[in-house]
């Protein structure tokens, strides 16, 4: 496969795959599910203006990469007039801790100058006709290791009996995330006996030489009002090189009620002995969910701690979806989407504990 030489950098002598990575118990304040303060919305920061043919609508599924300049490169999935998704980016100036404090004094007025630049062309484009990603590519996550950036993405292809199929692809770049090359024309994670319907939206962390992935897995399709409806939740996989993955079907976050049918886009951070996951979940409309774990494998769902909800009106009044949580300048932020699965653009929030 193209780019395989890069993956040697990620190998290591970590723990055996598919085993807990930290069996220690968290402190009492985390193990009891202490309520977390919520998020403070800083406003919508970007919405495509339609000037570029490949970027007519949507800025969905954000993911960040810190740049040497101190800026953040935000990757997102955007759509053309035929609703085919490609991945572009914008460079975000969040500034210093002092400047961020100024933003918090008027959180409904995020300054447009914070957007330094926007990509003129996609960094990950559609695959050739018949490939797993010929109908769309959407952002998963970006991992940086030894000077290389690994962009995991979801490839879309259209179906006949069901509307679409998803599989996970990977592109790698070594120029501060400006350009990427797909490592293969085939997916690195596809349907299998473990995941027979679809796989999508990977979130990857590297710990002790082990690449850890939380991803969306389809469990079935059902007819609903004469239309196929997907059911998917969040599962776990591991790898030694970021390319070849071991899956056992381990479920991390499952449906909370019979009305829920989509649990999507996990974003995972580790705070000492505790792993935190935010994700999208929906019955009627997407809202944010939240879960905690001491090992990254067994999770306790606590949606009451998600901390961010839809507004009464405006661009994120109908849904909140596709969170991406990251730390910058001593504060914790969340990029997220609102109405229309990202059609109304990108929003930014800061966690109340970090203000």
Q: What is the pLDDT of residues 167-187, one digit of tens each?
A: 999 999 999 899 999 999 999
Q: Is residue 234 in a domain? A: yes
**Number of structural domains, the chain?**
1
In the chain, % helix, strand, coil (3-state, to 5) comes to 10, 50, 45
Task: Find the DSSP H helices in 69-224.
Answer: 97-105
| Burial label, 161 (beta-carbon count in 10 A; 0-12, 13-18, 19+) | exposed
- 114: pLDDT confidence band, cut at 50, 70 and 90? confident
Residue 36's pLDDT is 55
Q: Is residue 323 in a domain? A: yes
Q: Report the distance separating Cα 169 and Cα 126, nearest Å.
A: 11
- Is pTM, for the whole model, over 0.85? yes
Residue with the bigger pLDDT between 86 and 93: it is 86
Phi then psi for 2, rounded to 5 degrees?
Answer: -65, 140
Q: Is residue 42 in a domain? A: no
Residue 2's pLDDT is 40
Q: What is the pLDDT of residues 4-52, one digit of tens each?
A: 333 333 333 333 334 444 433 333 333 334 445 699 999 999 999 999 9
**Which residue segment(s) compose the domain that 342 sits in?**
4-13+56-354
Q: Give the position of tokens 């993911």.
A: 63
On the question of pLDDT at 86 being above 50, the answer is yes
- DSSP class of residue 82 equals T
Q: In sequence order, which residues have a C-beta less than 8 Å from that of residue 333 and are 6 or more positions away?
A: 94, 325, 326, 327, 348, 349, 350, 351
Helix (H, G, I), strand (E, B) or coil at 123: coil
Q: Is residue 46 in a domain? A: no
Percent with pLDDT over 70 in the chain: 84
Residue 94's pLDDT is 85
Residue 339's pLDDT is 98
Stretch (H or E) spanning 150: strand 148-158
Q: Report the distance separating Cα 100 and Cα 355, nearest Å.
A: 9
Q: Which of 3-12, 48-57, 138-147, 336-345 has the lowest mean pLDDT?
A: 3-12
Residue with the bigger pLDDT between 97 and 54: it is 54
Q: Is residue 243 in a domain? A: yes
Q: In Å, how far are 269, 331, 333 from 327, measured between CA atoms?
A: 9, 6, 6
Residue 7's pLDDT is 38
CA nearest neighbour of 166 among 186, 191, 142: 191
- 329: pLDDT confidence band, cut at 50, 70 and 90? confident
Residue with the bigger pLDDT between 231 and 355: it is 231
Helix (H, G, I), strand (E, B) or coil at 250: strand
CA nearest neighbour of 187 among 158, 155, 219, 229: 155
Q: What is the pLDDT of residues 182-221, one digit of tens each?
A: 999 999 999 999 999 999 999 999 999 999 999 999 999 9
On the question of pLDDT at 138 being above 50, the answer is yes
Q: Report the distance separating Cα 320 and Cα 66, nearest Å.
A: 25
CA R_g for the chain: 19
Q: Is residue 308 in a domain? A: yes
CA nearest neighbour of 232 among 247, 245, 251, 248: 251
Q: Is residue 32 in a domain? A: no
Q: Report the distance separating Cα 101 and Cα 24, nearest Å.
A: 36
Residues in the chain: 355
Residue with the bigger pLDDT between 238 and 23: it is 238
User: Are 236 and 20 contacting, i.e. CB atoms less than 8 angstroms apart?
Assistant: no
Q: Is 111 left (phi over 0), alpha (psi -120 to 50) or beta?
A: beta
Q: Is residue 33 in a domain? A: no
Q: What is the CATH number of the domain that holds 97?
A: 2.115.10.20
């Amino acid at each position: 496969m193209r780019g395989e030489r890069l993956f040697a950098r990620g190998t290591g002598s970590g723990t055996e795959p598919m085993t807990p990575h930290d069996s220690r118990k968290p402190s009492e304040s985390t193990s009891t599910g202490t309520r977390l303060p919520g998020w403070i919305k800083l406003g919508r920061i970007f919405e495509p203006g339609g000037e570029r043919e490949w970027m007519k609508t949507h800025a969905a599924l954000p993911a960040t990469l810190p740049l040497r300049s101190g800026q953040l490169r935000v990757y997102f999935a955007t759509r053309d007039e035929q609703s085919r998704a490609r991945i572009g980016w914008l460079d975000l100036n969040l500034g210093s801790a002092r400047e961020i404090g100024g933003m918090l004094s008027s959180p409904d007025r995020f300054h447009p100058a914070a957007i330094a630049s926007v990509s003129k062309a996609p960094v990950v484009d559609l695959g050739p006709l018949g490939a797993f990603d010929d109908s769309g590519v959407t952002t998963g996550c970006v991992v940086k290791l030894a000077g290389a950036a690994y962009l995991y993405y979801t490839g879309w292809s259209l179906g006949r009996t069901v509307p679409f199929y998803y599989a996970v692809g990977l592109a790698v770049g070594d120029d501060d995330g400006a350009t990427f090359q797909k490592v293969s024309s085939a997916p690195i994670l596809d349907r299998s006996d473990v995941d027979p319907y679809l796989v999508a939206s990977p979130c990857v962390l590297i710990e002790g030489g082990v690449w850890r992935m939380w991803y969306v897995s389809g469990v079935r399709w059902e007819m609903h009002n004469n239309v196929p409806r997907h059911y998917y939740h969040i599962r776990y996989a591991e790898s030694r090189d970021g390319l070849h993955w071991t899956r056992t079907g381990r479920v991390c976050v499952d449906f909370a009620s019979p009305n829920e049918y989509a649990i999507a886009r996990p974003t995972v951070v580790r705070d000492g002995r505790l792993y935190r996951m935010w994700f999208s979940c929906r019955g009627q409309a997407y809202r944010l969910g939240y879960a905690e774990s001491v090992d990254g494998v067994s999770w306790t769902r606590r949606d009451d701690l998600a901390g961010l909800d839809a507004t009464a009106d405006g661009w994120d009044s109908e849904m909140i979806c596709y969170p991406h949580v990251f730390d910058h300048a001593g504060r914790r932020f969340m990029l997220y989407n609102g109405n229309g699965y990202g059609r109304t653009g990108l929003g930014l929030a800061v966690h109340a504990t970090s203000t």
